[in-house]
Amino acid sequence: MAVNRVPVLKRCRSLGLDPLYLGISKKSTRELRRANKKMSEYGLQLREKQKAKFIYGVLEKPFRNYYEKAEKMSGQTGANLMMLLELRLDNVIFRLGLARTRKEARQIVDHKHVTVNGKVVNIPSYLVKAGDVVEIREKNKSSQRYKYIIDATNGRIAPEWLDANQEGLSGVVKELPTREAIDVPVDEMLIVELYSK
């Protein structure tokens, strides 16, 4: 599996992204010094795509597949793309506050700690549907790790399309998210323009 080893804060700085969107509370004190260059239209589109890929931890090929799937769905392609990325199981675990970062959520899913509707799922890219119940397995609930995670994420509010139960380490997908409910700073229209060339 390909692993991105670029330091997170350095990547956030180059993309002009606040690390809080990744669940990281650290701030970089360095400033990005760019020789007063004006970015081309293609450069802006590429940066938005890289930003979305970086936030959700998706590589190029799966990201392209999400785009093609979003194109076939009814409605706006950009909003559909963001909805598909948001419905990934690792992202849902992160949004429910059961992981500090999306990378940690991915690891939790990989290690078979998560059930969807009572069945163990270990695929981070699994797309949840409205009405799905996502929870940590019974045998893992007593783990000290989750006590630390809940302490760290207690202030995080789950979006309105999710119903989180942090004491029970579970949550329900109430409905599919709309673009307004997704607080990710990505201009998806630029991604659509980039791919539709």
Res 133: pLDDT: 92
CA distances from 62 to 33, 75, 121 (A): 32, 21, 19
Pick the CATH number of 8-27+39-85+184-195 from 3.40.190.10, 1.10.1050.10, 3.30.70.270, 1.50.10.10: 1.10.1050.10
Which of 23, 192, 36 lies closest to 94, judged by CA? 23
Q: Specify the pTM.
A: 0.88
pLDDT of 155 strictly over 60: yes
Domains 8-27+39-85+184-195 and 88-176 share a fold: no
Residue matched to tokens 């392609």: 77
pLDDT of 167 strictly over 90: no
> Can you spell out the DSSP letters for 15-69?
HT--GGGGT------------SPPPPHHHHHHHHHHHHHHHHT--HHHHHHHHHH
Higher pLDDT, 35 or 117: 117
Res 6: pLDDT: 76
Q: Does the domain at residues 88-176 carry the CATH identifier 3.40.50.150?
A: no
pLDDT tens, residue by residue, 59-115: 999 999 999 999 999 989 999 999 999 999 999 999 998 998 889 999 999 999 999
Domain regions of the chain by residue span: 8-27+39-85+184-195, 88-176
pLDDT tens, residue by residue, 13-45: 888 887 777 777 776 666 666 656 788 899 999
pLDDT of 1 strictly over 60: no
| Count of C-beta atoms within a 10 Å radius of residue 180 | 8
